[in-house]
Copies of this chain bind each other. A is one copy, B any other.
Amino acid sequence: MSAVPTDHGVASLGEFTFECGQSVPDLEVAYETHGEFDGDNVVLVCHALTGSQNVARSPAPERDEETRGAGQAGQARAWWDDIVGPGKAIDTTEYYVVCANVPGSCYGTTGPTSERPADLDLPDEPDHDRWGTSFPPVQVEDWARAQRRLLDHLGVGRLRAVVGGSVGGMNALEWAKRYPDDVDRVVAIATAGRLDAQCLALDAVARRAIRADSNWNGGDYYGEDRPSPDEGLALARQIGHIMYLSKASMERKFGRRSAGRDSLTREEGDLGLPPEPTAAFFPYREVESYLDYQAEGFSQRFDANSYLYLTRAMDEYDLAAGHGTDADALGAFDGEALLLSFTADWHFTVEQSSSLADAFRAGDAPVAHHVIDSDHGHDAFLVEPEHVGPPLRDFLAEGVEGRAVSDDSGGDRDESVRPESDHAPVHASLFKG
């Protein structure tokens, strides 16, 4: 497979007024492109909550500076390399793939960690030069609008497809709602028109954990000698991480086993918290060791304020907003839609995707709801490329008539597509690092 051209950059898009009414004087958007633009082959990929523009490896790895420089790994770096690349499901020898870091995040696009304008008049002037929590509230709608501005800047009009998973799927749905004439095909994976009460609750507890960390300090923790709220962010991440795994996959992977001698020690794992004096009597279990290790890596690569902003955006998103129903919100879209969902995903359920399929169908958009039988949880969209890839590839090429695309609406799912999930390997997931 020959190398495809890739590019990366940070586009200065000028003044940007958020949906909340507040604005920034110059919105910078960090992005990558993979493949060659032929005028009609653009696939916009929307990343998930803590993802980045670095959707896939580039043939010149030294290019991945924004994401590498920030010290991140896992989901931040080449997070969908199993799906995006030459010859892969989103084939970069065929499509021009664009992926941009969303406003409010911390991988190069303007957000709480960005330098704030010197002439900004704040009631309580912080002693550092970052936006921090003075940054305007961000919503999923702003992400779509920033992407539209970026694509204009890149000379792209119409899109072949918008693809996204998790809150990136909400971002993709927002394209169908806001720019129905700009996109032919929408792929929304493991997503929903809005979070339910359980997910809202878990996100609220996660934010509370960040706010409870005294290092958070109301959001002012930037500057050379200031400690960052790593512990609060680690706790928030652990809550999120458990949401994204299924009960069955956790039991299979960890069970009740004690962490082995070679594993991380408790002291290394949890950022130096004081242990319980009685802890030595009880095993340090693999599942705890794993969550501690992953959370520590995450605290290194992500910004706590960005986590607050992005979960707020996810919680607030409601596809029906401004229209009354999802069907009305999607009424102007006459492209095709693919919804992918996973049976063991308890964060974004199969039922929620079914409801989205109904909403597309109400507007006469050709739609397929492809259910993947998996005992991975929400992270199946990242760790089961062998099941996500084929329907995604065929849908991009042929729409809902694509060979590997099945429509499981109405409950008559094709059991023949069931993967051997009992023995599925646990791939590097979005939670690595």
Contacts and interface: CB of A to CB of B under 8 A. Distances in A.
A195 interface: yes
A424 interface: no
Residue with the highest number of chain B CB atoms closer than 10 Å, among A197, A245, A274: A197
Interface in A384-433: none
A201 interface: yes
A371 to B, nearest CB: 18
A288 B268 CA distance: 33
A2 interface: no
Contacts of A301: none
A285 B204 CA distance: 9
Interface string A239-263: 1001001010011011110000000
Nearest to A286: B197
Contacts of A335: none
Interface string A313-336: 001101000000000000000000
A208 interface: yes
A183 interface: no
Interface string A215-246: 01111000000000001100100110010010
Interface stretch (A42-50, A66-74, A83-91, A275-283): A275-283
Contacts of A202: 242
A154 interface: no
A303 interface: no
A194 interface: yes
B242 A134 contact: no
A134 B275 CA distance: 13
A195 B254 CA distance: 12
Residue with the highest number of chain B CB atoms closer than 10 Å, among A137, A201, A253: A201
A309 to B, nearest CB: 7
Interface in A114-147: 133-137
A337 interface: no
B211 A250 contact: no
Nearest to A253: B197
Contacts of A197: 247, 250-251, 253-256, 287
A85 to B, nearest CB: 33
A3 interface: no
Contacts of A213: 212
A291 interface: yes
A312 B278 contact: yes
A34 interface: no
A214 interface: yes
Interface in A289-307: 291
A158 B202 CA distance: 45
A274 B216 contact: yes
Contacts of A359: none
B198 A274 contact: no
A251 B195 CA distance: 10
A264 interface: no
A194 B198 CA distance: 25
A209 interface: yes
Contacts of A281: 20, 137
A346 interface: yes
A239 to B, nearest CB: 6
A278 B210 CA distance: 14
A41 to B, nearest CB: 38
Contact of A278 (B133, B196, B208, B276): B133
26 contacts: A133-B276, A133-B277, A133-B278, A134-B277, A137-B281, A137-B282, A197-B254, A197-B256, A198-B242, A198-B250, A198-B251, A200-B288, A201-B242, A201-B254, A201-B291, A205-B291, A207-B276, A208-B235, A208-B238, A209-B212, A211-B275, A218-B274, A218-B277, A239-B239, A278-B309, A282-B316
Given A201-B250, A205-B291, 6 more contacts: A136-B278, A201-B242, A205-B235, A209-B209, A209-B235, A278-B312
